[in-house]
Amino acid sequence: MNNVKWIVLSVVMITFWLYWLVPPFSSTASLPYDDEQEGLQDQIVIRFSHVVAEHTPKGLAAQKFASLVAKKSNGKMKVEIYANGTLFTDEEELEALKQGKVEMIAPAYSKLTGFIPEWRVLDLPFALPNDKAVEEALQGKVGKILFSKLQSFHVKGLAFWENGFKQVTNSVRPIVQPADFHDLRFRTMPSDVIQEQFRLLGAIPKVAPFHDTFRELYYQQVDGQENTISNIYSKRFYEVQRYMTISNHGYLGYVVLMNESFWNRLTSSQQQVILEALAETTTWMKIHAKIINEKQLNEIIHTRRMHIHWLTDEQKREWLNHLQPLYDRVRRQVGGQLMNEVLRIQQKYLQ
């Protein structure tokens, strides 16, 4: 009898432990979703490379875009973000995109000027004097012309993303008039227009990758640079520069590009997911880029590390007069139709 009781008790105990410790097997049972469960053939992975910090307007926009793509595709599409140039530098990313080593990038307009001359109009100083001018140009005829030029380059233009207007910083002296640029060395992007801009103002341009800019400033290989407030703040340029001029002399935005072959392999529904996510992200970025730049300018002011001068409208016109030869040069390079549209918008909004 004792043996029978022991056997019964053992069966009960085993049944109890099996019930609580072993997950029930049924057609309705499932584990919490993990995108790593998706097979290589089931999930579309988009590698998105950029060179700025995660908390800049572009960095935050990339994160929002990735979240929206995952949500709209129910996890069937995944955007992997590589920030701070961890995958490719700003000098490498465009070629990497063409070769299919990355699916998506969002470079500054200047990165296209060496390959597609028409994009040089966006680097012209004071060409787009304010936010309304930027919107009218990029969402109108200018933007359509520029996107059409990408087709022969085998990349797909998807959207224009905002950042903000560029300001000038340096470690030598306040810059108010064009003469104040004399013999100062400035780090620039690889843009003929931007380099000539500084030459006409009397400065010496030096091309350097964005990720090298802090080091160039710290070791005084250059005296200054131009950038948006968010980039000046996120890369701590204000720690190694004494003077800043709020000039708003040029607009620094980004163009969202995708490898054309990759885009063409996507289904129409997958393309629609990307376009919808980009549209929402672009609207979000338009608002938040301004908020971020204003907030970070106030934080720079509160550090009391920099002497800051705001250019007056009269001072801006003085700069523009010195830069007029650059407009004549770019007109010869891009043709009258595009240049006339840019000048029409400039005159409409220039104060």
Give the pLDDT of residue 351.
77
Considering the chain, what is the average pLDDT of its residues? 90
> For the segment 67-112, what is each residue's pLDDT rounded down to a tens digit?
999 999 999 999 999 999 999 988 899 999 999 999 999 999 999 9
Give the pLDDT of residue 231.
96
Q: How confident is the model at residue 10 (pLDDT cuts 50, 70, 90)?
A: low
CATH architecture of the region 37-349: 3-Layer(aba) Sandwich (3.40)
Give the pLDDT of residue 154.
86
Does 334 have pLDDT greater than 50? Answer: yes
Percent of the chain with pLDDT over 70: 88
Give the pLDDT of residue 183.
98
Arithmetic mean of pLDDT, 290-309: 97
Give the pLDDT of residue 277.
98
Tell me which long-range contacts 282-286 makes (C-beta under 8 A, separation of at least 24). 282/61, 282/159, 282/160, 282/161, 282/162, 284/61, 284/64, 285/57, 285/60, 285/61, 285/64, 285/161, 285/162, 286/162
Q: How confident is the model at residue 134 (pLDDT cuts 50, 70, 90)?
A: very high
Does 190 have pLDDT greater than 50? Answer: yes
Identify whether the C-beta of residue 157 lies closer than 8 Å to the C-beta of residue 255.
yes
User: Please, what is the Cα angle at 318 between 116 and 118, to 5 degrees?
Assistant: 10
Helix (H, G, I), strand (E, B) or coil at 162: strand
Q: Using the 8-state DSSP alphabet, how is residue 23 labeled?
A: P
Which residue has tokens 């998706």? 38
Arithmetic mean of pLDDT, 57-76: 97
Among 90-94, 141-145, 233-237, 345-349, the minimum mean pLDDT is found in 90-94
Arithmetic mean of pLDDT, 235-259: 98
Does 23 have pLDDT greater than 50? Answer: no
Residues 6+ apart with CB under 8 A from 59: 50, 52, 53, 83
Give the pLDDT of residue 42.
80
Domain ranges of the chain: 37-349
Does 51 have pLDDT greater than 60? Answer: yes
Give the pLDDT of residue 41.
60
Percent of the chain with pLDDT over 90: 83
Residues 6+ apart with CB under 8 A from 339: 121, 327, 330, 331
> For the segment 231-244, what is each residue's pLDDT rounded down to a tens digit?
999 999 999 999 99
Give the pLDDT of residue 94.
92
- pTM (2 decimals)? 0.84
Residue 331: CA count within 13 A, CB half-sphere: 13
Does 1 have pLDDT greater than 60? Answer: no
More confident residue, 28 or 328: 328
Among 14-28, 100-114, 255-269, the minimum mean pLDDT is found in 14-28
Give the pLDDT of residue 152.
85
Give the pLDDT of residue 305.
97
